[in-house]
Amino acid sequence: MIVECASQQVVTDHAVNIVSAGKSMLIMSSGAMIEAGLMQMVMASAEKSGVSLYIPSGAVGGIDALRASKHLLEEVTIISSKPPVALSGAPGFAGWEDEKIDEPTVIFQGSAAEAVGLFPANVNVAATVSLAGIGPDSTQVVVIADPDSPEMSMK
């Protein structure tokens, strides 16, 4: 078994080849699986090779319940609040790098599908929730830079 804990780019570049080579794979960078068609390609390759693909729930409790009740959900919004330094380097934070953020500031509001490209190291919880729930295009994500937030907070 290969355990990926590197980056979304590693998943995009190597997951199909890994499972096609007969290795089961556990993917921690779940945001990569939102990329158009990647989930289907990796799952099809894993099935053809007779191996397993795992995307753990990570920091999200109740993923099984979410998956089981997704047909009842009309909307899902994930609000992620982090100190600005935790967002530094993310493409979606580039326009804010030189700004002094001294109060909670909404940096991004949009779909999980958009968020994973803009905040690849910051929104894996939202990606996991969207994959288990109503999908990455329908799941909404709000990213807040909060200088008083000692760590990440998800709602």
Closest CA to 136 of 116, 154, 120: 116
Helix (H) or strand (E) holding 78: strand 76-82
- pLDDT at position 64: 81
pLDDT tens digit at each of 155 positions of the chain: 999 999 989 999 999 999 999 999 999 988 888 887 899 999 999 999 999 999 887 767 788 888 889 999 999 999 999 999 999 999 999 999 999 999 999 999 999 999 999 999 899 889 989 989 999 999 999 999 999 987 666 66
Structural domains of the chain in order of their starting residue, each with its CATH number: 2-54 (3.40.50.720), 63-154 (3.30.360.10)
- pLDDT at position 66: 86
